[in-house]
Structures are given as structure tokens and as C-alpha cells.
Amino acid sequence: MTFSVFGYGSLVNRLTLPPHVAAEPVSLSGWRRAWRATSIAHAGGVCALSVVPGEDTIEGLLVTFEDEVRPVINAREYRYDPLLAEALGEGALIFRANAEADRFGDAASPVHLSYVDVVVQGFLTEFGEAGVERFFATTDGWHVPILNDRAAPRYPRAQQLTENERSLCDRMLTMVDVTFLSTDEAQH
């Protein structure tokens, strides 16, 4: 048996997925992304992507996993509640931040740049530069501080980016006018 999950953030990057999973690019209407999933991780507070109801159509991957992988996915999405995304097929799921985690981050729970890098790399691979631009346009919460952890990534599924990928990510972040924190400035 299998189950499907609509990935709209780091799950769009196939390098973060278990080997041998089926994944196809899809869009889902009625949602926006937002930097709203906060929690305390091994390296302090962190803010990750979630979804909120909206009038947008967001792109992502519909990833189909074998049932034996469900505990791994549930552990990866531990701050999230699974919701049905029936528009993508019977039993398809989308994960949304649970009530405890559903708030914008701050200096104590910043977005990790290594996480943004992974998401941008995935969207670039799947949807091209225009897809990266659509990702930024359909995501709220760019006011949340971003911790520049590229030198020592805190995101557990961090990836190596090419110079072009880093440059694109940096350029897009400049366009949404983010505030960066150094690792010394991050509150613990």
C-alpha cells in the first residue's frame, strides 16, 4: 500500500526524499505558504513553512510513499497535522502546522537560510526560475528573520548548492527585503 503527500517546501527537493519514491509536479488551489511552523529544534528555535487557506494556486510535488515509510514522514512532519487534499487524489495529504506551532517566527525562532536554500533548489529543479519566483510570490512571512547558517547548516536535510542556485536564492531574498541574523545574533 502507498500514501501520497503534497510537498510544498523542502519535500519539493527530491534530494531530501527517500530513494525510489514516485514524485510528480502538481499544483493545488486554495492555499498559500507561510513561515508559520515554529518549534524548538536541536539547535534552538526554528520557523518552517506551513500552508494557510488562500486564493492562490501553489506548486509542489505529489510524492507517493510506501506505507512502511509513514513513520519516517510522520517524524519529519512532527509539528504538522495531516489534512486531506482530495483534489490531488483519494487520500492525498497536505501537512499544515499544528495549533501549537502555527505562528510566525521571530529572532528566537528564525527561518534557517539552509532550509530556504533547499526549497529554492527544489523549485528551481522542478519549475525553473519562474517557479522560484512563484514560490516567493505565494509565500507569506518574509518579515521573519532569517538565520544565515550556510557556513554551518542547522537544517537537517541541507544540500550543497551551486553558485548559480545560491545567487538566485540571495537575489530573491533581496527582493522580499528580508532581515538576516548571524549565528551570534540568534536567540537561544
CB-based contact 58:31 (threshold 8 Å) = yes
Angle, helix 163-175 to helix 113-137, in steps of 10 degrees: 60
For domain 2-181, the CATH class is alpha beta
Per-residue tens of pLDDT for the chain, all 188 residues? 999 999 999 999 999 998 889 999 999 999 999 999 998 876 678 999 999 999 999 999 999 999 999 999 999 899 999 999 999 999 999 999 999 999 999 999 999 999 999 999 999 999 999 999 999 999 999 999 999 999 999 999 999 999 999 999 999 999 999 999 977 766 54
Domain map (residue ranges) of the chain: 2-181
CA 5 to chain centre: 13
